[in-house]
């Protein structure tokens, strides 16, 4: 596998006039053919005798593919969950709860206003009732 640098052309809008060396679009624009280079990965089957190198068509340069490309995934370490379970331990903070609230919530009730519910209650009703 090789990385080929190819010469390509595209049309771009350029200002007609420059002021103090800076392009100024106030005076209008023109379409200009611009030359640029682009890298491509060339994968050739083993049984081909054709060698693509500099000077072949629009190829400007050719270099062997070594190491990682910018779009390769590189493992940068353990995921946060594994790191916590093996090394840092469980974290009980508001950042780790599903709803973002405090990990431990306490409710204070006044025992003077709680009373036991009716004896003939349904099973889906609570035993304690608050006034």
Q: Which residue has the tokens 């000077």?
A: 55
Paired strand residues for 86: none
Residue 114 is predicted with a pLDDT of 63
Q: Judge contact between 40 and 16, C-beta under 8 A.
A: no
Question: Could you report the per-residue pLDDT of 91-118, keeping only the tens digit for each?
Answer: 788 887 878 888 888 877 666 666 666 6
Query: Apex CA 24: angle with CA 20 and CA 25, to 5°?
Result: 175
Residue 34 is predicted with a pLDDT of 93
Residue 131 is predicted with a pLDDT of 62
Local structure of 7: helix, strand or coil: strand
Residues of the chain with pLDDT under 70: 45-56, 70, 109-119, 123, 125-131
Residue 24 is predicted with a pLDDT of 80
């Amino acid at each position: 596998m090789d990385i080929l640098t190819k010469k390509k052309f595209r049309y771009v809008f350029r200002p007609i006039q420059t002021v103090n060396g800076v392009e100024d679009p106030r005076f209008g624009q023109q379409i200009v053919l611009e030359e640029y280079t682009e890298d491509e990965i060339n994968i050739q089957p083993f049984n081909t005798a054709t060698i693509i190198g500099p000077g072949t068509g629009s190829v400007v340069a050719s270099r062997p593919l070594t190491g990682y490309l910018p779009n390769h995934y590189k493992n940068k370490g353990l995921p946060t969950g594994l790191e916590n379970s093996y090394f840092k331990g469980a974290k009980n903070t508001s950042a780790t709860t599903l709803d973002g609230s405090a990990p431990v919530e306490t409710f204070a009730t006044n025992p003077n206003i709680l009373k036991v519910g009716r004896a003939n209650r349904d099973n889906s009703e609570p035993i304690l009732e608050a006034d």
